Amino acid sequence: MTAASPGPAGDPRRRIPRTDDLLALPELLEARARLSGPVLRSLVGEVQARARRGELPPEDVRPALLAALEDRSATSLRPVLNATGVVVHTNLGRAPLSAAAVAALVAASGYVDVELDLATGQRARRGAGTREALLAAVPGGVPADLDALVVTNGAAALVLATTALAGDGELVVSRGELVEIGAGFRLPDLIASTGTRLREVGTTNRTHRSDYAAAIGPETAGLLKVHPSNFRVDGFTSAVPVEHLRSLADEHEAEHGRALPLIVDVGSGLITADPALPDEPDLTGALEGGADVVIASGDKLFGGPQAGILLGRAETIRTLARHPLARAMRADKLTLAALEATLAGGPTPVSRALHADPARLHERAERLGAAVGAPVVPHEGRVGGGGAPGVPLAGWAVSLPEDLALLLRTGRPAVLPRVHDGACLVDLRCIPEPDDGRLAEAVRAALARLDSSDRGGG
């Protein structure tokens, strides 16, 4: 490397290596395969700026740049070890993918036959394999002409179903089911945004079949049932099961010769009932109850990528697939690949975390506690992500000083603990067991930093 021209004695800034010289380092030339020119330039610029500010001696510019290069990847998203005990954590991207889904994502990242029949060379139905996996996952063939459609997310699926089936007519819905799904987004606003009107019936805590019956009239274009997935109304409550809404719609059709589509949004995406979550509705149950179409998210309890899953009668699904909005919500090849593999592959991380053996969790927590010299306390995990509100998942956590939380979050790997009651709690439920060693290392490193900053400050 050419040295910078010697400057006046006493100004070390003259010795800061030049941009072109730094960019010509073999390590930087090699990094051009994984990082763009502008990114490399900005890394160089940041390190030079530190040296200009006197934070770094000029001799250290090169090693600091190589360290920064090591640390920089093409994505700014940092993998996080989820030590909160919250299984479907929206701020952490909801469901982590199974190994099979990850492999499918990688396989689908190049050219793939997502919409092509290789045998004939002709265009084929998009995502046919994903559709078949979804149909095969629903036991018992209900209804007999079951079909499926995948869109970008649950909210899109709901807008598509309500818009395509009800248009600017009225959808009858219970007042107890008009939910806000997070970040200020409310399902009633979402549905109304395309012109569909909601006819609210019943009260917050109780709605009866007769409430729906009284509201049905010439303006009624369908019935909507939404699972209030992120809160629970306890006590004097009652809701109308899907079966009763089906019989209402059937009676209306028999009397007036006009079918009323029954749309059911189950939210979390359990395919079949899970005894661990007794109050959580499932897709199969809603179809058996007579829904024309059921809606669920792909990345909640389903355990897959972000997607909106629509399952229902073939004719209903056809109507949805042909609506112009369907094209604006089309699932990409990566989603289709990961969704299929979520069904066809081994157990999902969500399912593992949900059904983790408490005794095993205890053993792992004890091992971590012993490794870092901290006590183990009982700790209840949560389903999270707008599913099974209030259902505790019995488990354990290692209890650490509250001040450790920031150090864990900003460490490598990043660890998100739960801060509660003045303690930093590390729950192993959502940590894949092979990561226990990395987690222990991260906690030890954070404790060492806490210790040195305590000594530094005191």
Ligand X SMILES: *Cc1c(COP(=O)(O)O)cnc(C)c1O
Cβ closer to ligand X: 82 or 297?
Answer: 297
Instruction: Choose among 437, 400, 396, 432: nearest CA to 419.
Output: 400
Helix axes 37-52, 61-71, angle to 10 degrees: 140
Report the residue number, 225 or 364, with the smaller CB distance to ligand X: 225
CB 51 within 8 A of CB 58: yes
* Alpha-carbon gap, residue 451 to 445, rounded angstroms: 10
* Least distance in angstroms from the C-beta of 154 to ligand X: 2
265 binds ligand X (CB under 6 A): yes
Please, which residue, 222 or 417, has the CB nearer to ligand X?
A: 222
Out of 297, 316, 335, 348, the residue judged to bind ligand X by CB under 6 A: 297
The window from 23-31, 232-240, 263-271, 364-372 that contacts ligand X (CB under 6 A) reads 263-271
> Using an 8 Å Cβ cutoff, are 224 and 202 in contact?
no
For the bound state, the minimum distance from the C-beta of residue 32 to ligand X, rounded and expressed in Å, comes to 38
Closest to ligand X by CB, 245 vs 447, is 245
Tell me if 154 contacts ligand X by CB under 6 A. yes
Q: Which is nearer to ligand X, 274 or 366 (CB)?
A: 274
Please check whether residue 83 is in contact with residue 439, taking contact to mean a CB–CB distance below 8 angstroms.
yes
Please tell me the count of residues contacting ligand X according to CB under 6 A. Answer: 14
Nearer to ligand X, 268 or 348 (CB): 268
**Which stretch, 15-23, 152-160, 314-322, 447-455, contacts ligand X (CB under 6 A)?**
152-160
Query: Is 127 or 308 the residue whose CB approaches ligand X more closely?
Result: 308
Give the CA dihedral 439, 441, 442, 448, nearest 10 degrees: 150
Identity of the residue, 22 or 165, whose beta carbon is nearer to ligand X in the bound complex: 165
Q: Least distance from C-beta 187 to ligand X, angstroms?
A: 6
- Copy the structure tokens of residue 199: 């006819």
Our finding on whether 160 is near ligand X (CB under 6 A) is no
**224 belongs to the binding site for ligand X (CB under 6 A):** no
How crowded is residue 443: how many other Cβ atoms within 10 Å of its Cβ? Answer: 28
Q: What is the CA radius of gyration of the chain?
A: 28
Place of tokens 């509705």: 281
Closest distance of CB 431 from ligand X, Å: 24
Rounded distance, CA 318 to CA 315, Å? 5
Q: From the list 16, 47, 181, 397, which residue makes contact with ligand X (rule: CB under 6 A)? A: 181
Cis amide bond preceding 281, omega within 30: no
Report in angstroms how near the CB of residue 289 gets to ligand X at its nearest. Answer: 16
Q: How far is CA 119 from CA 116, 122, 123, 124, 294, in A?
A: 9, 8, 11, 10, 33
Check residue 226 for interaction with ligand X (CB under 6 A): yes
Q: Would you say 43 or 187 has its CB closer to ligand X?
A: 187
The contact mask relative to ligand X for 381-400 (x = CB under 6 A, - = no) is -----x--------------
Q: Answer yes or no whether residue 153 interacts with ligand X by CB under 6 A.
A: yes
| Beta carbons within 10 angstroms of residue 430's beta carbon | 26
Shortest Cβ contact with ligand X: which residue?
154
The interface region with ligand X, picked from 2-10, 141-149, 153-161, 198-206 by CB under 6 A, is 153-161
Name the token pair of 445.
């490193």
Kind of pairing, strands 308-313 and 116-117?
unpaired
Q: Which of 225, 227, 333, 364 binds ligand X (CB under 6 A)?
A: 227
What's the CA gap between 310 and 131, in Å, rounded?
10
Task: Give dist(CA 83, CA 145) in Å, integer.
Answer: 43
- Residue 378, class by beta-carbon neighbours within 10 Å (0-12 exposed, 13-18 middle, 19+ buried)? exposed
Binding site for ligand X (CB under 6 A): 153-155, 158, 181, 226-227, 229, 265, 267-268, 297, 308, 386
